[in-house]
Structure 1
């Protein structure tokens, strides 16, 4: 809570009581989620998992823990098999629940050693039926996890310095960071120390374990802005300050889902030694002033939309930091740069990093184990995950670039991928997710294969993001082609899996949310035909140097259908 001497005048900010803002005295829970958190901190359920649930089994789990507090440790019940998408919004949670869990392992900054990657791989093969997904939040997700095995999984993770603490829930989730931190030739600064400090100072702290909703952070000095600061709740972006010293520009309030918003610049310059305190200040404002009544309005983006950046900065400086931050420069966004770090590139020390692409982030424990072996055999102890469902191996000498590339390619991990393999992402989908309406991962893999055959020489970096529901875990609104899963009607009048289409989304220099053409939908089966048709029209009509998103803005509706 802000101190008693807080300068903010409650009379000027007091909303109707229904918003449930703590700082204005409204502490009574206004929904079941808030009541559940008030009854017991989500961090407290770990001991129950160890002492009770893992011994007595699934049926012993308190429902308030099962569908609430378990998320504070990266655990969600996965979707029971055989439930079609039409029942997603109809059935009660207990009817959708399987007796197994998705487990999310947080990998702050995307940083893994060989030993850590091996530990994750071994957990996958021993406890997760060899499942693993690289997410666009730099995490690894496993499936088919039994409650009985969770303590052993935690012990193995902790033995290599990994954790599932606050990987989900109304908490500060994984901190995104550039996978090339400390080695990139062009980076503004290495943010690794600041990521570690925020983790050490604040993750798992009761001060921030009851937020209105999830809180997504990024801290990076990357010159191509690979962690997508535009859509994080709080983002620290590397810039060079007025005196030539590197530091951070501060953005607040980005997020997608059903009400997408780009983050707002506060216009401040944050020194590296200030960052942890500033992060805590932003998170504290969210905790104290965030809207807790309605879950769909509980993200920080709604608060900053109502307050505006100037007021948010004033409250941050006066009530949470007790000092003013200087004005600072904005990042210089280059519209021509890709953000994914794929391929072979030189490090600042003369060695090389090798970025490679699984299909839509889907791997396996066996594949992760092989990646660890390949990295180690070629002299690397550093593997990184990216914010685009990809991986990078660091520190490869010139003479080992071709051998490691060949071994990764033999493992089905493309170092020189097609445009479609490089640019396609997919969320978990109906296979495991209780919110999903359609299948995504296998659909994405088949789509890549189809487009590679139909358009083998397609040169343009067109992104295709596939989501199983409206919540945009796969960032559909900022993709060139964003696909939102829903049931659609086919030519025979049947309700089948399909997608609403968003076109021309982008981040960076020309940030925009994708255009929705009225009535534009496609069935899952018709998806390859649709995308091929639109991409061929783009090739026929585009001007020299014109990007897909720019063409979409001027294209006729008929050309986009």
Structure 2
């Protein structure tokens, strides 16, 4: 464990009562099986076994701790076996749910994907992943149907073009969210790219940070649209301008959703570009040293922040990890413009960036390869992924914009989507995820098509986000959507068990429609069958349009509406 800057830790009285497994307080004795297998062998070490043993000898040669634990350190999870319905998810053991194939997650860390990189991603999908490829809301590419025998070759191809799966999952610093328009947006406050590059080059794959209490999520942006959902990450750096010190970042910590959602809090400090890598390292080191390791359900940074509060967190960061005080700083201004960057926008260099929406993030190898050819043809620089399951093509000459928009449409990547296609997200769901209870991607796709048909005559001057999640873990951020849907098995009036959703209403992150992030409300007893989902959303949207006051957002209306009006 890396030493810290202060000796104040030794002056504290020893903890009394039950240990929380905090390394800096309780010592490093493992208190649960997850901590034990991590202590036994660092997760990063499994790569050698994958390359020299498992890829050669096949799936049956893989040890249990590697298969269900350390593989995650390299972006690998076993996927769900086909044909197991959601009603059996909670009753089966992991080995009964899993297939002999893997999901593989490729991290992008906000980087610009060149046409050559897009082609490699596309060909991997086509050759090794049965054409599967999803854009996640963490700016990752996720493949399915990956065989262990093919993993070393996939790594070779990815790393040859500067891509990787290192620490894409596991109890590690997972993929970074970066502004999709970093370095090109005319209204950018500060370009976060150098900071992300410095952090990843110094610490990604560092064994000093590869045994955290649980996953650790990072977001860094300098764009005034606040386009990296900073309120729900473990650590976020958000572009601001200090009145004396100029452009830099505001520091937020302790955000996360899942079954115990908590929004991040500002520490009130100003972080310069030069200081940002060390500040990030200080925050993740606090999590490593002080994070709770006794129970995984309490092992995220948000629980430590809830105990300490932002003032103590700042004090520990400055005194024990940085060895210096940080200046006070301003908060970010309210969001300006949508953070998904969909549509055609002028860059500061006279060229354009064009944001496009796949349907709930689903693409394919063929689409990625064709997209690479299209970007080359119009003279664009490349593509970035977004935190909203979208993509943005950067550096497009003005003469190529309409050709690009037309070409994207032909690939199912529209730059002029309907409001519902633009604002709907969905997690992986029961198709591949072992935790899921219901289908998400196909369900959301059907609902989008129905809403486009049924509500075509209604003009919405405010977006209504629809997030569809297959289980309670909120990978699709259900608590921060206008309409968030949490998958469950519901019972009909005649006692039949069918897939459905619990409904969260009126959540949202900072946006032009709302100054502050907030979590959605639930209506007691409100559950909607998957088959009735389009009917329900149509009904609620029509009520909103009828009842809203001038300029009122859906979230504001949903929080003042009665339970009856929301059912």
Which band: TM-score by shorter chain? over 0.9
Q: Which residue of 1 aligns with 2:218?
A: 217
Shift of 1:12: 6.1
Among candidates 483, 490, 504, match of residue 502 of structure 1: 504
Distance in 1 of aligned mates of 2:469 and 2:112: 26
The 3-state SS of whatever aligns with 1:217 is strand
**Take 2:4 and 2:411, find their aligned partners in 1: how far apart are those partners?**
56
Q: CA deviation at 1:380?
A: 1.3
Aligned with residue 541 of structure 1, among 531, 542, 547: 547
Deviations 1:182-203 (A, max 9, x none): 0001111001000000000111
CA distance in 2 between counterparts of 1:285 and 1:87 reads 39
SS of the residue 1:91 aligns to: coil
TM-score, length-scaled by structure 1: 0.98
Matched pairs, number: 560
C-alpha distance in 2, partners of 1:337/1:199? 29
Q: 1:263-412 maps to which residues of 2 (within 5 A)?
A: 263-334=264-335, 337-412=337-412
Is residue 110–residue 138 contact of structure 1 (8 Å, CA) maintained in 2? no
- Deviations 1:29-82 (CA, angstroms, capped at 9, x unpaired): 111110010000000000000000000000000110000000000000000111
In the TM superposition, what is the alpha-carbon distance from 1:248 to its structure 2 partner? 0.6
Deviation per CA, 1:271-291: give whole Å up to 9, x if none: 111111111110000000000
Deviation of 1:492 after TM superposition, in Å, equals 2.9
Instruction: Give 3-state SS (helix, strand or coil) of 1:466's partner.
Output: strand
Partner of 1:526: helix, strand, or coil?
helix
Residues 254 and 264 in structure 1, CA contact (< 8 A), matched pair in contact too: yes
**Structure 2 residue 94 is the aligned partner of structure 1 residue 88:** no
| Cα contact 2:128–2:147 (8 A) shared by 1 | yes
The answer on whether the counterparts of 1:72 and 1:168 sit within 8 Å (CA) in structure 2 is yes
**What is the rounded CA distance, in whole Å, between the counterparts of 1:432 and 1:539 in structure 2?**
37
- Superposed displacement of residue 398, structure 1: 1.5
Would the aligned equivalents of 1:358 and 1:413 in 2 still touch at CA under 8 Å?
yes
- Aligned pairs (5 A) from 1:147-158: 147-158=148-159
CA offsets per residue over residues 485-543 of structure 1, 9 Å max, x none?
A: 00011243211000000000011113110000100110000000000000000000000
Whole-angstrom CA distance in 1 between matches of 2:343 and 2:177: 21
- Distance (whole Å) between structure 1 residues aligned to residue 37 and residue 174 of structure 2: 19
SS at 1:333 equivalent: coil
1:560 aligns with 2:542: no
Aligned residue in 1 for 2:72 = 71
Cα separation, 1, equivalents of 2:544 and 2:480? 18
* Preserved contact between residue 231 and residue 256 of structure 1 (Cα < 8 Å): yes
Please report how far the alpha carbon of residue 8 of structure 1 lies from its aligned counterpart in structure 2 after TM superposition: 4.1
TM-score scaled to structure 2, two decimals?
0.97
Q: Tell me the equivalent position of 2:129.
A: 128
Q: Secondary structure at the match of 1:330?
A: coil
Range that drifts further, 123-132 or 337-346: 337-346
1:18 is displaced (CA, Å) by 3.0
Can you give the 5+ residue segments of structure 1 that lack an aligned partner in the other structure?
none
Residues 346, 352 of structure 2: 8 Å contact kept:
yes
Say if 2:27 is the partner of 1:26: yes
Deviation larger for 130-139 or 81-90: 81-90
Change over 3 Å in CA distance of 1:55–1:15 after alignment to 2: farther
Q: CA offsets per residue over residues 89-122 of structure 1, 9 Å max, x none? A: 1111111110000000000114211111111111
Deviation at 1:242, TM superposition (A): 2.7
Name which of structure 1's ranges 371-380 and 420-429 shifts more when overlaid on structure 2: 371-380
- Any idea what SS the aligned residue of 1:59 has? helix
CA distance in 1, matches of 2:411, 2:268: 46
Look up the match of 1:466. Answer: 468
Mapping 1:408-447, distance limit 5 Å? 408-447=408-447
Pick closer, same or farther for the CA change 1:149–1:315 going to 2, 3 Å: same
Any gaps of 5 or more consecutive residues in structure 2? none
Structure-2 separation of matches of 1:319 and 1:212: 19
* CA–CA separation in structure 1 for the residues paired with 2:182 and 2:443: 33
Pair 438,10 (structure 1): closer, same or farther in 2 beyond 3 Å: farther
Match of 1:545, SS state, is coil
Q: Distance in 2 between matches of 1:395 and 1:21?
A: 47
Aligned-partner Cα distance in 2 for 1:195–1:81: 38
Kept in 2, the 8 Å contact 1:124–1:132? The answer is yes
Partner of 2:101 in structure 1?
Answer: 100
* Cα RMSD after superposing both structures: 1.2
Aligned to 1:489: 491
How far did 1:26 drift? 2.6
Question: How far, CA to CA, are the matches of 2:443 and 2:12 in structure 1?
Answer: 53
Look up the SS of the partner of 2:474 in the other structure: coil
Tell me how far 1:395 sits from its aligned partner.
1.1
> Do the aligned partners of 2:242 and 2:248 also contact (CA within 8 Å) in 1?
yes
> Superposed, which structure 2 residues align to 1:208-247 within 5 Å?
208-247=209-248
Deviations 1:126-185 (A, max 9, x none): 000000000000000000000000000000001000000000000000111001000001
Name the counterpart of 2:478: 476
